């Protein structure tokens, strides 16, 4: 018995930091006066799955609001975006959002980039079977510090796709730097980006502190990931999920708060936490449409188009490189 061969996407993994550098960076953040970790550590294989579950929660409006925006304005968006480009999906995750755009944007090639390598490899393999004729490339890469795409992407204009308001994980200053790097990487194409907008805290906070506790599990899973990567001895039960809106900074903050005084130990280091002391695990910045448009123009994009839903909760921006 023989099976027809299935198309398998090409996959490359780029390690920029060695495990020791990662451990040093983590230890430094945990030992800082205000303990913190970078949001990328939320995304191990389980973290990526928990994030997918978050997007199904009734309280978590961004994913479905963005999908509705893309569905409603697909034709108008497609009229701006160059056809036959290389579609580069930044933080592709399960690759679902980009797959829904294939018909509309008609890319010549699909490149999925994500830090969560094993999860991405799986998702891309499934997708390649659904779209056997579309050349696909998976790139395992942490682009949070610097967007440096490999030469395997080839020449020609690129449409970079950065949906889901992941840009909100950067401070506005970092976002400006990143948006400039994206523009350079677009090779004359542009950026299609989804951005969560400022709204009352009564709407924002439940999206990050849902009734089922899925976001709490997503946040606490960071501790299990740290135990893996750093060799620490975090006990999940000692920690409480916290989410609040910092109005002045215009950002949701996620923290993990110690439920008792405790000491966390790892090879070569430790950190004492007093009762109530916390680890800052994520920022999620919310923008006003005019402010985000100004940020794109400051980053050097020549033309910016924006679409928002009727409630004004979420924005989709096309920025010509
Ligand atoms: C993937 C960064 C856009 O900030 O809303 C969801 C991550 N954190 N719930 C967001 C997240 C808690 C999400 N981003």
Euclidean distance between CA atoms 254 and 231, whole angstroms: 23
**216 neighbors 42 (Cβ within 8 angstroms):** no
Give the pocket of ligand 1 (CB within 6 Å). 54, 62, 164-166, 168-169, 208, 215, 282, 284
Pocket perturbation via mutation, ligand 1, pick of 49, 165, 203, 254 by most ligand atoms within 8 A of CB: 165
Closest C-alpha residue for ligand 1 atom 9: 208
Q: What is the pLDDT, as a whole number, of residue 150?
A: 95
Q: What is the pLDDT, as a whole number, of residue 315?
A: 98
CA-closest candidate to residue 189, choices 281, 88, 294, 286: 88
| CA 166 to ligand 1 centroid distance, Å | 7
Tens of pLDDT, residue by residue over 233-243, are 999 999 999 99
Tens of pLDDT, residue by residue over 288-311, are 999 999 999 999 999 999 999 999
| CA 144 to ligand 1 centroid distance, Å | 15
Query: What average pLDDT values come out for the chain (321 residues) when binned by 10 residues?
Result: 75 90 97 97 94 97 97 96 97 94 97 93 95 96 94 96 97 98 98 98 98 98 98 98 98 98 98 98 98 98 97 98 96
Indicate the DSSP class of residue 7.
Answer: P
Element (H, E) at 138: strand 136-140
Q: What is the pLDDT, as a whole number, of residue 4?
A: 66
Euclidean distance between CA atoms 199 and 80, whole angstroms: 28
Tens of pLDDT, residue by residue over 242-253, are 999 999 999 999
Q: What DSSP string runs through 144-202? A: SS-----GGG-SS-EEEEE-TTGGGGS-HHHHHHHHHHHHHHTTT-EEEEEEEB---HH
Pocket perturbation via mutation, ligand 1, pick of 282, 285, 314 by most ligand atoms within 8 A of CB: 282
- Whole-model pTM: value is 0.95
Q: What is the pLDDT, as a whole number, of residue 1?
A: 56
């Amino acid at each position: 018995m023989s099976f027809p061969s299935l198309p398998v996407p090409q996959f490359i993994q780029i390690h920029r930091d060695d495990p020791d550098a990662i451990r040093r960076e983590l230890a430094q953040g945990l030992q800082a006066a205000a303990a913190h970790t970078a949001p990328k550590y939320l995304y191990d294989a389980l973290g990526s799955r928990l994030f997918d579950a978050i997007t199904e929660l009734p309280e978590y409006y961004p994913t479905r609001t963005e999908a509705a925006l893309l569905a409603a304005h697909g034709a108008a968006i497609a009229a701006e975006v160059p056809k036959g480009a290389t579609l580069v999906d930044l933080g592709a995750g399960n690759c679902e959002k980009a797959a829904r755009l294939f018909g509309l944007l008609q890319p010549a090639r699909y490149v999925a980039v994500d830090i969560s390598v094993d999860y991405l490899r799986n998702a891309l393999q499934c997708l390649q079977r659904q779209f056997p004729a579309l050349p696909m490339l998976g790139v395992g890469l942490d682009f949070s510090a610097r967007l440096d795409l490999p030469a395997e992407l080839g020449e020609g204009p690129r449409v970079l796709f950065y949906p889901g308001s992941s840009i909100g994980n950067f401070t506005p200053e970092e976002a400006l730097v990143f948006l400039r790097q994206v523009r350079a990487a677009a090779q004359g194409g542009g950026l299609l980006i989804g951005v969560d907008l400022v709204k009352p805290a009564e709407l924002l906070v439940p999206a990050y502190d849902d009734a089922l506790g899925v976001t709490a599990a997503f946040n606490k899973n960071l501790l299990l990931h740290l135990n893996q990567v750093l060799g620490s001895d975090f006990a999940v039960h000692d920690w409480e999920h916290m989410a609040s809106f910092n109005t002045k900074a215009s950002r949701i903050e996620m923290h993990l708060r110690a439920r008792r005084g405790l000491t966390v130990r790892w090879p070569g280091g430790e950190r004492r936490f007093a009762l109530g002391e916390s680890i800052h695990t994520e920022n999620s910045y919310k923008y006003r449409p005019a402010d985000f448009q100004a940020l794109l123009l400051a980053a050097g994009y020549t033309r910016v188009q924006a679409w928002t839903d009727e409630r004004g909760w979420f924005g989709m921006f096309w920025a010509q490189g």
